[in-house]
Chains A and B, each alone.
Chain A
Amino acid sequence: MENIYLTIVLAPLIGAIIAGLFSVSRQTAHRITVTGVALSCLLSVYVFKLMVLDGAKPFDGAVYTWLASGNIQFEIGFLIDSLSAVMMVVVTFVSLMVHIYTIGYMADDEHIWPHDSLSAKNSYQRFFSYISLFTFSMLTLVMSNNFLQLFFGWEAVGLVSYLLIGFWFHRETAVYANLKAFLVNRVGDFGFLLGIAAIFLYFGNLHYADVFSNADALAHITIQILPNQEWSLMSVICILLFIGAMGKSAQVPLHVWLPDSMEGPTPISALIHAATMVTAGIFMVSRMSPLYELSETALSFILVIGALTALFMGFLGLVQNDIKRVVAYSTLSQLGYMTVALGASAYNAAIFHLMTHAFFKSLLFLGAGSVIIAMHHEQDMRKMGGLRKYLPITYWTSLIGSLALIGFPMFSGFFSKDAIIEAVHHAERAGAGFAYFAVVAGVFITALYSFRMFFLVFHGKERMDKHTREHLHEPANVVTWPLIALAVPSVVIGAIALGPMLYQGLFHNVIFIAEAHNPFPMAHYQGVWGFLIHGLTQWPFFLAMAGVATAATLYWRGFTHIPAQIQARLSWLHTLLVNKYGFDDFNEKVFAGGSRALGIFLWQVGDVKLIDNGMVNGSANTVGRIAQKIRHVQTGYLYHYAFAMIIGLLFLLGWFVHAA
């Protein structure tokens, strides 16, 4: 078995190395990477079958010892259970689709580069190398059995994200965005690493199984970080780790990098910034459920952060005109939903939504990408409209994705989102009331911005110029097939996975939920139809429908002049939303500007003025000055010296007499 796991991880890595470091042709590059990822995907499905369908025992074993220092050992190893099996299938499947899609999407990439750039020559191969490297990194993250490897994968996906956001590195906005993404993630990692250090100190080990089995014993320990403040150890650890998740999964206030990450090519927005990497934080907290269940404080914190993200990032989606940015804010908001689920102890619902979201959101992104290619890299929705008849496959698959996103009954998102709302409804911890309001209100907002985009792009007046319109056509098969392949699970996966994931203990012994917190006891399970009928009588369903109807009247037929009027009336609100609540300006001024100012101060005042001019050159100068003075003593006149000698003798004599 171990060889299978190794193959799953290494196949994409080998593909990445060959495509990236050896000068292979474009065809070889995509063939080898697609083969590698396809192999991973097939084997992941096989592992999924063993773990989930056949109920095989989880595997927990080391591959090699990374380092050993006396009693301390850090190992690289795998933990394969139902949770990692689900993640592996999701990651490799979406990755495979994205690989195939990329063959079409990046076909003309060299035209995007400055004409004489040498980096343009193999940009196609490089792109495939990066996305395969990403798949490798993400797999090491989800398959890890210890915190060290988790951190390795965590940072490695961050690296690839950095490389891919800045893929078109001649664009100033792209290289600004990738630096920002990396640094904001590092702020999260700062907390994450301290959390790992705390675990290491108190558990003496970074191996999940050892940590989880000792968690109860340490549940009541308190530590002092500030003098005279006793804090629960578990809360400190969980919040520190969650800070890492806030960076990676883009939770307020560390969400600022995700919208900018849209500077990267669309396939990676689908793979990295929607389906997989950004969900690493959700996965991590679910994996750590035995720890999080011990800290009510941390869960409340998570609940509130998630709710803020879910609601307020949704609003921002309403005012975006860039097609990818709408989807990006939608991703932020949906990540907020998952985080809320974590905070409500519904880790299984979070993973459920993570999975359905991976399918329908990558579908929406790839659909947007299909539109962007058809529009010759135009992303402004104000220049689109009426694309339905030109791009039928994209149209229908995007419709499916949108319906899944807003939670239309029987689509996958319906089940996972309703599960989250149910869970929050039943949660009793601090912040649950606000979170419930946020996720319910969020449903309306989600439907509104999703269908605003949908109508603006596919329906209504054709607002593009003549040249573009004449060249509009459905992109190649390699682009449309992945759309269809992703549309299928976007519809059906919710109904299939609902029972096993939430009620029937698919994650039994993997995700730990304290009995009192469990929002989905088996006794409440009424089957898919029961869940459906229950959902149809609840607020979220009507809110979603109201959102679609509002979008239709405002952006398709009826009152299309209203949005402009609202914008004029509520210009302050519009400005606030367009400025993204001012987070970017604040960060740019206070953190970026502040750091530079501090650096200049420390350098000019500390190093140059005090140390160099004061101490170093100062002491040199002092020596010089004293020498200047003393030089006058050496007058060259014999009588001066004689005089000095006599005074000296007298002084010595006096001193001897005095001493005697």
Chain B
Amino acid sequence: MFAELPLLSLLIWLPILGGIWVLMVNPENQSTLRTAALAVSLVTFVLSLPLFFGFDITTAAMQFSELKPWIPMFGINYHLGVDGISMPLIILTSFITIIVVLAAWQVIQDRPAHYLAAFLIMEGLMNGVFAALDGMLFYLLWEAMLIPMFIIIGVWGGPRRVYAAVKFFLYTFLGSVLMLVALLYLYSHTHNFSILDFHTVPLTMEAQMWIFVAFLLAFAVKVPMWPVHTWLPDAHVEAPTGGSVILAAIMLKMGTYGFLRFSLPIAPDASHAMDGFMIALSLIAIVYISFVALIQSDMKKLVAYSSISHMGFVTLGFFIPFMIVQNTGATDAAMMGIEGAMVQMISHGFISGAMFLAIGVLYDRLHSRDIATYGGVGHVMPKFALFAVFFAMANAGLPGTSGFVGEFMVILSSFAANFWIAFFAAVTLIVGAAYTLWMIKRVVFGEITPQKQSTVGQLVDMNPRETLIMVSLAAMVLLFGLWPAPLLDVMHVTVENLVNHLLQSKAL
């Protein structure tokens, strides 16, 4: 029944129009606007599900495609479609948006209509980024997406929100300008902006290198990779809870998605030539950033650094295949590396989202993100403590949670590339557990000291709405931890196709 619906267009435009609709609801009537926003996000999520259930896992071709000429003079088309790489990310986006709307429920009192509308519009734009198969469309949506986020941080953010918002905007904007140059260069070869045509167009090694570098700046900033990561902790610290959740759960994935959709398939030879460099940056992110996370005193900064470190696994998984194939002569472990990285993207969406929401729960009550403010929270918020420990364990990659799956697959496959890559990647097992659980120890455990009786001592446990949010995220984390097979099945053929594509030189 869904076959004839333009699902992807709906997933883009429904939340955008829904957001505009929310803006037009009488702002005095807060409960109506919330309900409206929730309804829009729920309907969007429901509409995203047929993508999964109707997905043909036997083909690497684009599915649910839509193609309409847009600016034919420049070969720009309104071209949408999903494969095993983008489809799970769209569902993740739709799911997380519900969570974010719920999380804003009573918390955002200042201009809630604008706040909710910004998130809904952003959802549409983000779905568009993942579904776009036209380079120009992609670029437009990619840049447009920055605007609602900029507003969310700049308007509803903390005290240094303007610095953070500008840093966020400039960092990511400057990165993506070069991407535009690369797209225009590719256009000069294919005379249209079809991303799929970009994949197949032969390019000289030199051209590939320039393209790779141009894309690298755009995507590395977004991921973010070391050393262009410093905007993220600032943005997180100043962003409201919902902004942090979207930032961590979805926006960072735009960067890694970009590597899969652009850098690797368009410039496979350059990717091969640069793989050592990329692996080195990924390992620095995993190890260096873990130690930086260890000593943070601000919970949001800690989780922000933890995100950077976890995203290091994603970029590591993307760039080890060349070495694996060279080493083992087979593609099995190479595919597992990329798939592990993709699982990590999805899983990190749930876990980091939940971590930021948990911090939000505390922040809403005591208006502090400082670890030292807390201590002994478990005595007054036992329900919160349960979820905090659960998501901390997931963040530390405990088997049985989704946090384990991706790291496990990437570490296993990187061993096939080189012992030392696996060695440094596995450091996260120790340091990742250290920074996460040390924070838990200082926040959740311990005794409530007499000085904190009036603050921590008075905390009220999570309400049903907060509990519902946590339960639904925990369910996803457990589901994909105990049974990741469905997720892998969706990805596999696409990844197989990608790996085979990567191994064929397209250099002239």
Contact = CB atoms under 8 A, between A and B. Distances in A.
Contact of B492 (A70, A163, A172): A70
A201 B448 contact: no
Contact of A64 (B296, B335, B483, B487): B483
A119 B382 contact: yes
Interface string A159-184: 10011001001111001100100110
Given A65-B485, A66-B483, A116-B379, A596 B295 contact: yes
B227 A118 contact: no
B226 to A, nearest CB: 9
Nearest to A156: B400
Interface in A95-137: 113-114, 116-122
Contact of B412 (A197, A610, A611): A197
Contacts of A64: 483, 485
B426 A193 contact: yes
A118 B380 contact: yes
B291 A599 contact: yes
Interface residues of A, number: 64
Interface in A602-639: 602-603, 606-607, 610-612, 615-616
A71 B408 CA distance: 17
Contacts of B335: 69-70
Interface string B391-414: 001000011100011001101101
A120 B376 CA distance: 13
B83 interface: no
A422 B411 CA distance: 41
A189 B292 contact: no
A169 B378 contact: yes
Nearest to B414: A197
A72 B484 CA distance: 14
Given A190-B429, A606-B292, A67 B411 contact: no
A151 interface: yes
A350 B496 CA distance: 46
A119 B378 contact: yes
B445 interface: yes
Nearest to A612: B230
Q: Which of B404, B437, B444 has the most CB of A within 10 A?
A: B437
A606 B376 CA distance: 33
Contacts of B444: 169
B153 interface: no
B502 to A, nearest CB: 15
A194 B445 contact: no
A156 B399 contact: yes
A118 B438 CA distance: 22
A155 B405 CA distance: 13
Interface in A336-350: none
Contacts of A611: 227, 230
A193 B382 contact: no
A599 B380 contact: no
B423 to A, nearest CB: 7
B488 A68 contact: yes
Given A70-B335, A611-B230, A114 B399 contact: no
A616 B461 CA distance: 41
B441 A616 contact: no
B177 to A, nearest CB: 15
Given A187-B430, A225-B419, A595-B431, A603 B400 contact: no
Contact of B227 (A182, A190, A600, A615): A615
Contact of B485 (A66, A121, A159, A596): A66
Contact of B393 (A148, A159, A598): A159
A107 B114 CA distance: 54
Contacts of B448: 114
A189 B429 contact: yes
A581 B287 CA distance: 31
A200 interface: yes
Contact of A155 (B328, B399, B446, B487): B399
Contacts of A69: 332, 335-336, 339, 409, 488, 492
Contacts of A163: 389
Contacts of A429: none
A118 B379 contact: yes
Interface string A203-237: 01000000000000000000101000000000000
A599 B295 contact: yes
A67 B485 contact: yes
Of A69, A114, A223, the most chain B CB neighbours within 10 A belong to A69
B427 A595 contact: no
B385 interface: yes
B395 to A, nearest CB: 13
A611 B483 CA distance: 41
Contact of B379 (A114, A155, A162, A595): A114
B366 to A, nearest CB: 17
A68 B288 contact: no
Residue with the highest number of chain A CB atoms closer than 10 Å, among B291, B335, B400, B444: B291
Contact of B294 (A225, A596, A607): A596
A190 B411 contact: no
Contacts of A599: 291-295
A580 interface: no
Interface in B446-491: 446-448, 457, 461, 482-485, 487-489
Contacts of A113: 379
B78 interface: no
B483 A607 contact: no
B278 interface: no
Contacts of B487: 67
Contact of A607 (B230, B332, B426, B433): B230
A621 B171 CA distance: 15
Contacts of A484: none
Contact of A175 (B416, B441, B483): B441
Most buried by A among B296, B328, B448, B488: B488
Find the residue from A121, A186, A204 having the highest chain B CB count within 10 A.
A186
A151 to B, nearest CB: 6
Contacts of B416: 200-201
Contacts of A116: 379, 457
Contacts of B433: 182-183, 186
B399 A151 contact: yes
Given A70-B492, A118-B380, A201 B446 contact: no
A118 to B, nearest CB: 5
A72 B336 CA distance: 8
A500 B144 CA distance: 74
A68 B490 CA distance: 11
B379 A170 contact: yes
B332 A72 contact: yes
A595 B438 contact: no
A156 B393 CA distance: 10
B292 A68 contact: no
Contacts of A148: 408
A190 B483 contact: no
Given A67-B405, A170-B447, A611-B227, A201 B336 contact: no
The 4 closest A-B pairs by CB, nearest first: A197-B415, A599-B295, A117-B379, A599-B291
Interface of A: 64-72, 113-114, 116-122, 148, 151-152, 155-156, 159, 162-163, 166, 169-172, 175-176, 179, 182-183, 186-187, 189-190, 193-194, 196-198, 200-201, 204, 223, 225, 595-596, 598-600, 602-603, 606-607, 610-612, 615-616
13 contacts: A67-B405, A68-B485, A69-B492, A70-B496, A114-B379, A114-B447, A183-B433, A197-B412, A201-B333, A201-B416, A599-B292, A606-B292, A610-B227
Interface of B: 167, 171, 227, 230-231, 288, 291-296, 328, 331-333, 335-336, 339, 376, 378-382, 385, 389, 393, 398-400, 404-405, 408-409, 411-412, 414-416, 419-420, 422-423, 426-427, 429-431, 433-434, 437-438, 441, 444-448, 457, 461, 482-485, 487-489, 492, 496
Given A120-B379, A186-B434, 7 more contacts: A67-B485, A68-B489, A175-B445, A183-B433, A194-B422, A197-B414, A606-B288
